[in-house]
Copies of this chain bind each other. A is one copy, B any other.
Amino acid sequence: MIQYKITQTDKWNFVEFELAKNIEPADLKKMIMPDIKKFYNKGVIISGRGPIWLYGVLIHHFHPTRFIATFEPRLNAGVVIETHETEFHIGDLIDL
């Protein structure tokens, strides 16, 4: 139903998801999530075409990581939305 492609850099993991079919809210109950242990010591940039509630679940999943950004195609950049990292602040752009 959902596939992840993960690209690593020194400071973040770029997590692109792709949906094989239209997702429904009930699918969230059995959705496979990326293994969080790989992500603790870096930030995460989430990218993909999907509903806001899918992003919501992924954002919650990655909450323990160093920071979270969502990819904004219009700007070709990640936008930091939460952070435990002094180097990255809410609203910062991360050029990709």
Chain A contacts to B: CB under 8 angstroms: 25-29, 51-53, 55-57, 59-60, 63, 68-70, 72, 75, 77, 79-82, 89-93
Known: A25-B79, A25-B92. 11 other contacts (CB 8 A): A25-B75, A25-B91, A29-B90, A53-B69, A53-B72, A55-B55, A56-B70, A56-B82, A59-B59, A59-B60, A60-B68
Judge whether B91 and A29 touch: CB under 8 Å.
Answer: yes
For A63, what are the chain B residues with a Cβ–Cβ distance below 8 Å?
60, 63
Majority SS of interface residues in chain A?
mixed
For A75, what are the chain B residues with a Cβ–Cβ distance below 8 Å?
25
Give, as a whole number of angstroms, the nearest-CB distance from A18 to chain B: 16
Give, as a whole number of angstroms, the nearest-CB distance from A69 to chain B: 8
For A52, what are the chain B residues with a Cβ–Cβ distance below 8 Å?
52, 55, 70, 72
